Structure 1
Amino acid sequence: MKQKVTIQDIANMVNVSKSSVSRYLNNGYVSEATAEKIRDAIEKTGFETNFFASRLKTKRSRLIGIVLPRINSVTVGCLLTGISSVLEEKNYQSLIQISNLSIEKEIENIRSLAKQGVDGIIVNSIAVTKEHIKAVSNLSVPVIFTGQKNDIVNYIKLDDYKAGRIMGQYLKNKGHKKAVFVGVSENDKAVGVDRKKGFIDEFTRDNTGSSVEFVETGFSFENSYDKAGEVLKLNPTVITCATDNICLGVLRYFHENKIEVPERVSIAGFGGYDIGAVSYPALTTVAFDYEHIGSKTAEGLLKLIEEDIEEIQEEDHVSLKILERESVAKIK
C-alpha cells in the first residue's frame, strides 16, 4: 500500500515549516517562491487531490488553532499533551501561536488562526476581556477558552475557587491562623481572584482569630524570591503561594537565609508540579491534572465542530486533590 503523504512530508520536501504548507493550503500568505515549491511538491506526490477531496467532502481543514500564553511552563506543557492526544486520535493537526503573556497578542493570534482556515481554536487565555469577546463573536469558527472563565464564551477550566477552598480547609485543620497569600495580579481572574478568594473564604470560616495578608508577586521564580523577605516580615505561621513555582522562589530565599521549613514557617502551593516532590522539603500542594483539562478542552472543541452545538461551559472538579508532603507543620 502506498504510504499517505502528509503536510509534514511536503514541508520536508521543500525545506519549509509545516505551518507554511498549511497557510498555502488555506490561502494564507506565503512568498511566491515558497508557493511555487509547495505547488510542485503537491503535484509530484498527489497530495493535493487527497487533501482537497477530503476538505470538499467535509468542508473542514482538520486543522485546530491553539493559542498559548508561553511555552516555558510546566502547566502549558501538560495542557498541550492532553490537547494533542485527543486531536491526534481524531486525525486533526494543530497550529500553535504564542502570546507571550500579552492580551493584545493573544487576540491577534486568535484572528490570525481564523484567517488560516482552522476548524476551531483553543485559547489557553490569560484573561477574557471585552476585546476577546468581540473578536470571537466575529468569527465563523468555534473558539473555546481554558484557564479563564467568562459566561459569554465557551470554556472548560479547573475550579480555582474550589482549589483555594481545599487548601484553606487543609491548613485550617492543621491549626494555622496567621497566613500570608503570595499571589499574582487580579488581572488574572482565575489565579489572581478566584483561587485567592477561595482560600481566604475557607481559611477564615469558623477559624477564630484567623487572618490572611496578601503580597503580590509575578508568576516567576525570581519575582517570588525577591518578595520572600517582605513576606517573612509579616510573621505568618503559613505561607500559601498561588502556584508551586512561586513557592520554589520563596523556598530558595529561605534556604539561603537559614529559615527552616516547616519548623519556622510552613509553606504550600498549587499545581502539583513534579519538581515539588523533589524539593526540600517536599512541597504540600493542591495538584491539578492539566493534561486531563487539556483533553477535555480538545474534546469540547471537537463537539462544537462536529456536533454543531453552540455552548460548552464547565468547571472541572475531578482534577483537584491535596498532596500532603513535608512543607506544612501542624500547629499544636
Structure 2
Amino acid sequence: MKAVVYEKYGTPDVLELRDIEKPIPKDNEVLVKIYATTVSAGDWRMRRANPFLARLFNGLFKPKRVKILGFELAGIIEEVGNGVSSFKEGDPVFASCGFTFGAYAEYKCLPVNDLIALKPSNMTFEEAATVPVGGLTALRFLKKADVKKADNVLIYGASGSVGTFAVQLSKYFGAKVTAVCSTANVHLVQSLGADKVVDYTGEDFTKLETHFEVIFDAVGKTSKSACKHLLTPTGKYITVTDAPKEGSNDLFFLKELIESGKLLTVIDRKYPLEKIREAHAYVEQFHKKGNVVISVIQSERADDISVPITF
C-alpha cells in the first residue's frame, strides 16, 4: 500500500510517499480502507518535533514510535478481527487514530473503542474525516468547563478546526458566544452562530467590558493572566494546551448532532495524498479556516453524498 513516511524531523520535505506492507488486523481491530484524512496541528508539530516534548514521545534524534502521521480518518472497513462484532466489512466509519497516528496511508488498523464510529450519513468521507480531532477536542474542553445555557463564552481562535466546532457546540449548549478571529474570518464565524465577533486585527478583546463564565483559547496563543480580568468570580479559563477529560460516547454524540443538522464542518482546502508536503506547508502558516483535508482514495460509493446542514 502507499503511505507517507518520515524518517527525520524537519520541514514538509521530510515527508515521503512510499510503498509499504499492508497491515493485518488483530482480533480486536478493524482494517480501514482510508478515503480521507487531514493535516492537523498535531501532525505538523510531530513532524517538526515542536514542542520538544514530541521528541521524548517519538524519539530524541529521529522518529521511532510514529513514522506515519495522520491523526484522524474516514473510510470503509475492509476486514474485521476475529473478536469484533460491533462492525462488519463494508461499514463506513470515521475515527481518531489517537497517538498511534497512521492515517497518511491507504489502510490503517484501528482497535474497536470509543474513538471509532459509523460515519454520519449526511457527510462525505472528506467531511467526516475532519470531525474526530477538532470536534472531540472542542466538545471535551467545553464539557470540562461545564458550559451551559445563558453562559457567556469567549472563544479565542474561533476560525480554526477546534474553534469552529467550539462555536457551534457552545451554541448547542445554549451559551452566548463571543468569537475572536481575524478580519477574513468574521463572516465565517458569524455563519456558525456566534453572537458577537471580535476582529483582533482592529480590536483588543482583552478590553471588552463583558465578563465571561468560560474563556476558551482554541489555538493556545493567549494566557489566563491576559484574560483573568474578563472572567466572572467563578469563571473558567481553558486552553487546548491542557488535556481534556475523555468521554466514552463523545464521538457518537457528535455523530448524532451532525445527523440532526446541528453541527457542520468547515473545509478550507483539499489536497491529494501526493501533495501532502504542500498541505503541511499551508497549515503551518496559521491561516487555515477550519480544516485542511487530504484525499487518500477518491470515493466510488453512491451514498457518499454531502447534504447541506443548516442551523
TM-score bracket, normalised by the shorter chain, equals 0.3 to 0.5
Higher relative contact order (CA 8 A, sep 6+): 2
Structure 1 or 2: more helix by fraction = 1
Tell me the TM-score normalised to structure 1 length. 0.32
Structure 1 or 2: more strand by fraction = 2
Answer with 1 or 2: which has the greater Rg: 1
